[in-house]
């Protein structure tokens, strides 16, 4: 009996997919990404930080491909920053490499920095400012446990400068856009 054409098609697709991407072809079947053995495994606060990063959406923007891969990204690839620009009246912002940002700060410095963080959109800086100190400390411990990795994200572009793709664009109604344009860029 000859194999069914669909079976052949699936086989060809699997074989044509590099091993590094194959796990992402069937997220439902693959096990959820787990942290490498490190501080997160031993420090309960760091483990809490991993949970917070996962559910507070930090990966949605700061981890490349996180949404596309349905969240099935190993922690070793988390928070390395993204080349996906966020374009709006503020110019273009890029989710930064938090592995490098946090790697460069002491724990107390991170707490002071995030308690008063003001950034461009789409970063929800208001959420971080209101996050309990213990939770911000937990995020710090977890990200430190991952170590520094990756390159700095592209630098933000000022309003009026067209970013290269890929980027997301926020288009406001004209009146609202005019009002926003007058607001100082933070």
User: Contact with ligand HEC (CB under 6 A): which of 46, 49, 75, 86?
Assistant: 86
Q: Which is nearer to ligand HEC, 33 or 52 (CB)?
A: 52
Tell which residue, 82, 71, 75, 60, has the closest CA to residue 30.
Answer: 71
Q: Is 123 in the site for ligand HEC (CB under 6 A)?
A: yes
Which of 48, 63, 75, 93 binds ligand HEC (CB under 6 A)? It is: 93
What is the chain's alpha carbon radius of gyration, rounded to the nearest angstrom? 20
Could you give the C-alpha distances from 72 to 35, 77, 91, 122, in angstroms and in order? 12, 10, 31, 23
Q: How far is the CB of 59 from ligand HEC (least distance, A)?
A: 8
Indicate whether 84 belongs to the interface with ligand HEC (CB under 6 A).
no
Residue from 46, 47, 61, 157 touching ligand HEC (CB under 6 A): that is 61
Contacts of 78 (CB under 8 A, 6+ apart): 53, 59, 62, 63, 99, 146
If the CB atoms of residues 46 and 58 are measured against ligand HEC, the closer one turns out to be: 58
Which residues sit opposite 85 in a β-bridge?
167
Within residues 145-164, the interface with ligand HEC by CB under 6 A covers 156
Where b means 16+ CB within 10 Å and e means fewer, 141-161 reads: bbbbbbeeeeeebbebbeeee
Q: Tell me the closest approach of the beta carbon of residue 120 to ligand HEC, in angstroms.
A: 3
Half-sphere exposure of 104 (CA within 13 A, CB side): 7
User: In this chain, which of 47, 128, 146, 157 binds ligand HEC, going by CB under 6 A?
Assistant: 128
Both tokens of residue 166? 């890929």
* Site for ligand HEC contains 48 (CB under 6 A): no
Q: Which residues bind ligand HEC (CB under 6 A)?
A: 56-58, 60-62, 86, 93-96, 98, 101, 114, 117, 119-120, 122-124, 128, 139, 156
């Amino acid at each position: 009996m000859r194999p069914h054409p669909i079976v052949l098609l699936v086989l060809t697709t699997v074989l044509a997919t590099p091993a590094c991407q194959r796990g992402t072809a069937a997220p439902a079947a693959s096990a959820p990404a787990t942290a490498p053995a490190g501080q997160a495994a031993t420090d309960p606060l760091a483990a809490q930080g991993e949970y917070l990063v996962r559910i507070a959406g930090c990966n949605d923007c700061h981890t490349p491909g996180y949404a596309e891969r349905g969240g099935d990204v190993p922690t070793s690839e988390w928070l390395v920053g993204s080349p996906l620009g966020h374009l709006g009246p503020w110019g273009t912002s890029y989710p930064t490499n938090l592995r490098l940002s946090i790697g460069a700060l002491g724990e107390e410095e991170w707490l002071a920095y995030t308690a008063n963080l003001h950034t461009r959109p789409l970063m929800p800086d208001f959420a971080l400012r209101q996050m309990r100190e213990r939770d911000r400390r937990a995020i710090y411990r977890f990200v430190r446990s991952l170590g520094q990795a990756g390159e700095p994200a592209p630098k933000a572009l000022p309003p009026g400068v067209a970013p290269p793709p890929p980027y997301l664009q926020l288009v406001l109604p004209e009146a609202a856009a005019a009002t926003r344009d007058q607001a100082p860029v933070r």
